[in-house]
Structure 1
Amino acid sequence: MRVLPIIGFLFVFLSCKQEPKQLTAQQIIDKTIETAGGEKYDAATIHFTFRDTKYSSHRKNGNYELTRTSTDSLGETRDVLTNSGFERFANGTKLILADSTATKYANSVNSVHYFVQLPFGLNDPAVNKELVGEAEINGKKYYEIKVTFSEEGGGTDYEDEYMYWINQDDFMMDYFAYKFYTDKGGIRFRKAFNPRMVNGIRFVDYENYKLEPWQSVDLKTVDELFEAGKLELLSEIKTEDISVEILGNN
């Protein structure tokens, strides 16, 4: 008869045992950034080539300088985006630009650096993150993180929406999708391939897919459409000639 109280105690103990605490969207993104390079992003000079154009980023102590340099028959054009604003130089001479033109060029420069250095930018102050579910893609389990942007600090395309699929085992960002509204709008889905670490920072290339019609599609379902073969491959997006210099503390 003494066995019954022991069994009862074990039953209560096991029933009260808590399930592992679910990670929040912020914790998942923090782990994803740390896995991809962490603090190295914010103290590095990075050079790369994208679509035959040279780019560089220099970050240190919260300050940044993002550049784009292209050359044609007229010479060299260099765009520079910093904490202070945007400037364009033609063969070393600074050009005077209308505000709308400067904003357009600045957004273009920032966009390339943003995508190449993902997931680093996902902790910017204007980023709103939400864990909206879990999914399985090609037999692997993923967290689904929805990202929107605040109007203040979110840029001219702050209404765009993003969905990131973060691998639950290694916290790698293997897929993402976004819905945009400029230039007639659309949805893009990207599958990462060719991952490599360069001096401690992770870079990938992407298969770039589109979906038509897109207006009524929930981004959360795009992975299912991808697995069902409903997306059209548009292009491969490759980052080349990457070099990374990690800066000291001084």
Structure 2
Amino acid sequence: MKKIILFFLASCIIACNENQADKLDVQQIIDKAIEASGGIHHEDSNVSFSFRDKQYVAQIENGKKILKRITYTDSLKIIDIKKHNSFQRFFNDSLISIPDSIANRYSNSVNSVHYFARLPFGLNDPAVHKELIGEVEVNGASYYKVKVTFDENDGGDDFDDIYIYWFNKASFKPDFLAYEFHVNGGGIRFRQAFNERYINEIRFVDYNNYKANNKKVDIYKIDSLFANNALELLSKIELKDIKVEEAN
């Protein structure tokens, strides 16, 4: 009898250890997600794309990232350039002086489009805080559910926004994301990735962009609303004319 009990206990311990070994922490999940979406190719590539009649360019020069937004009007070429701690606006080839408050708003806008276009690359930035908050099923697939917040320093004006990512447990790709924002009256958005394509080893997707009609909706439960068709399709986020080239 003692042998049976000891064997049973030993089997339980081995099974528990195997289960623990199979569990991933949040950093491992993010690392695998970035690897599945292009990995090191993000770090040595120049990327350009069009979004809502504007051209966006991300370049690497001397090891530093430069983000651009180019807008064409009938008579002007407007170039917005964001570097780590600076922002410049050019009308054709002329540098324009603008107030710091407006420059900051433009800078955040440029950064936001580039950030979403390259997800999940960027989730290992120093200002990012990540927390695994659960494992769930959405539309029959299993996901790691990860909460992301930002430091006030280096986290931008919207540092207090909350993001939720759903990483597919089989592919580690972020099939869904949601965020709660506070500017312009606040709200919650839920995005569903579609039209996945790889261009020179880097993954790009478009999004169905949904909103919750009730601003009091709990962002942590918004995946249930999506699964029950209780969200309203607000817009589509589509990238066009994507080009990826090796940085010099």
Instruction: Place the TM-score, normalised by the shorter chain, in its bin.
Output: over 0.9
Whether the aligned pair in 2 keeps the contact of 1:48 and 1:241 (CA below 8 Å) is yes
Task: Answer yes or no: is 1:14 the counterpart of 2:15.
Answer: no
What is the CA-CA distance between 1:121 and the residue it aligns to? 1.3
Give unpaired runs (5+ residues) of structure 2: none
Give the match for residue 240 of structure 1. Answer: 240
Q: Counterparts in 2 of 1:15-94, with a 5 A limit?
A: 15-17=12-14, 18=17, 19-21=19-21, 22-59=23-60, 62-94=63-95
| TM-score for the superposition, normalised by structure 2 | 0.94
Give the match for residue 176 of structure 1. Answer: 177
The one-letter code sitting in structure 1 at the alignment partner of 2:152 is E
What is the CA-CA distance between 1:20 and the residue it aligns to? 3.3
Instruction: From the superposition, tell whether residues 219 and 60 of structure 1 become closer, same or farther in structure 2 (CA, over 3 Å).
Output: farther
Q: Counterparts in 2 of 1:160-239, with a 5 A limit?
A: 160-215=161-216, 217-239=217-239
Query: What SS does the aligned partner of 1:111 have?
Result: helix
Whether the aligned pair in 2 keeps the contact of 1:58 and 1:65 (CA below 8 Å) is yes
Whether the aligned pair in 2 keeps the contact of 1:187 and 1:214 (CA below 8 Å) is yes
What is the CA-CA distance between 1:124 and the residue it aligns to? 1.1
Query: What SS does the aligned partner of 2:98 have?
Result: coil
The one-letter code sitting in structure 1 at the alignment partner of 2:83 is T
Whether the aligned pair in 1 keeps the contact of 2:55 and 2:69 (CA below 8 Å) is yes
Q: CA–CA distance in 1 between the matches of 2:210 and 2:121?
A: 23
Task: Answer yes or no: is 1:97 the counterpart of 2:94.
Answer: no
Whether the aligned pair in 2 keeps the contact of 1:43 and 1:61 (CA below 8 Å) is no
**Cα-to-partner distance string for 1:220-246 (whole Å, 9 max, x where unaligned):** 210100011110001111001001112
The one-letter code sitting in structure 2 at the alignment partner of 1:231 is L
Give unpaired runs (5+ residues) of structure 1: none
Whether the aligned pair in 2 keeps the contact of 1:44 and 1:60 (CA below 8 Å) is no
Instruction: From the superposition, tell whether residues 62 and 179 of structure 1 become closer, same or farther in structure 2 (CA, over 3 Å).
Output: farther
Whether the aligned pair in 2 keeps the contact of 1:44 and 1:247 (CA below 8 Å) is yes
Q: CA–CA distance in 2 between the matches of 1:39 and 1:239?
A: 21
Whether the aligned pair in 1 keeps the contact of 2:69 and 2:79 (CA below 8 Å) is yes
Q: Which moved more, 1:25-34 or 1:12-21?
A: 12-21
Q: CA–CA distance in 1 between the matches of 2:9 and 2:158?
A: 54
Whether the aligned pair in 2 keeps the contact of 1:80 and 1:86 (CA below 8 Å) is yes
Q: CA–CA distance in 1 between the matches of 2:237 and 2:85?
A: 30
What is the CA-CA distance between 1:6 and the residue it aligns to? 5.3
**Cα-to-partner distance string for 1:53-105 (whole Å, 9 max, x where unaligned):** 11110136751010010111231000111124110000110001111111011
Q: Which moved more, 1:9-18 or 1:190-199?
A: 9-18
Q: CA RMSD in A?
A: 1.4
Runs of 4 or more off by more than 2 Å in structure 1?
4-10, 59-62
Whether the aligned pair in 2 keeps the contact of 1:41 and 1:59 (CA below 8 Å) is no
What is the CA-CA distance between 1:247 and the residue it aligns to? 3.1
